[in-house]
Amino acid sequence: MPESNLSFFGRLSVALGSFFAILGDGELAANVRGLREGGLAPAAAAPAPAAAPVAKPAPAPAPTVIKEATPDAALQLLGLLQRNARFVDFVEEDIAGYADADIGAAARIVHEGCRATLRDHFAIRPVRSESEGSRVTLPAGFDAAAVRLTGNVVGEAPFSGSLTHRGWRVEEVKLPQLVKTHDARIIAPAEVEL
């Protein structure tokens, strides 16, 4: 593209480069002001000495990217838990009027169905291999997303403490494929007996 007809991005590049060059060089700023006011730049008659290279500003840190979660996978899992364990039925039921033995019997059925669903569709492993209650030492640079410190957290790593929960990590997800016409918001269809 000819220099007299720069594209928008070409002009933007020149403008930004000029902006930082003018900020860093008072003489260049005076010359530009003279040109903008319609006169010749004071140094136009004599060739200007080569300008010292202007240090480029450090690149801005990469912005934090927030991923938008689509609800389809969560709705699909909720549907599987409802189908296999009647999970939503159990949670939505008002259990205040039931005896503890009845609630316990229902909870056992829901637990078995939920456990089977999770095992069928997820490979879930502990974050830490040690037994709960054992002493562990976390070195400097430990993965703070995988280990949460609780209690009296003072100072810097290494930290030593008692493992109160091993944590869980999903290593594999095996949800069924959905057809485009499937409405994931229907986690359990209404049933009509004829």
- Give the domain ranges of the chain: 8-58, 74-123+172-186, 128-166
Contact residues for 53 (Cβ-Cβ < 8 A; gap 6+) = none
As a whole number of angstroms, the distance between CA 170 and CA 154 comes to 30
**Model pTM?**
0.59
State the average pLDDT over residues 136-150: 94
**pLDDT given for residue 1 in this prediction:** 44
* Least confident segment among 28-37, 65-74, 86-95, 165-174: 28-37
As a whole number of angstroms, the distance between CA 122 and CA 170 comes to 7
As a whole number of angstroms, the distance between CA 80 and CA 120 comes to 10
pLDDT band at 117 (very low <50, low <70, confident <90, very high): very high
pLDDT band at 3 (very low <50, low <70, confident <90, very high): low
State the average pLDDT over residues 108-121: 96
As a whole number of angstroms, the distance between CA 171 and CA 176 comes to 16
Say if CB 170 and CB 123 are below 8 A apart.
yes
As a whole number, the mean pLDDT across the chain is 83
**How many other CB atoms are there within 10 angstroms of residue 121's CB atom?**
19
Quick: pLDDT tens for 19-58: 556 666 777 767 777 777 776 555 544 555 555 666 667 6
Q: Would you say residue 89 has pLDDT above 90?
A: yes
Residue 162: strand pairing partners: 135
**pLDDT given for residue 2 in this prediction:** 46
Q: Would you say residue 145 has pLDDT above 90?
A: yes
Residue 126: strand pairing partners: 168
Give the Å distances, CA to CA, from 54 to 15, 29, 86, 126. 15, 14, 68, 53
147 or 47, which is more confident: 147
- Per-residue HEC secondary structure of the chain comes to CCHHHCCHHHHHHHHHHHHHHHHHCHHHHHHHHHHHCCCCCHHHCCCCCCCCCCCCCCCCCCCCCCCCCCCHHHHHHHHHHHHHHCHHHHHHCCCCCCCHHHHHHHHHHHHHHHHHHHHHHEEEEECCCCCCCCEEEECCCCCCCCCCCCCCCCCCCCEEEECCCCCEEEEEECCCCCCCCCCCCCCCCCCCCC
pLDDT band at 61 (very low <50, low <70, confident <90, very high): confident
Say if CB 110 and CB 86 are below 8 A apart.
yes
Residue 161: strand pairing partners: 136
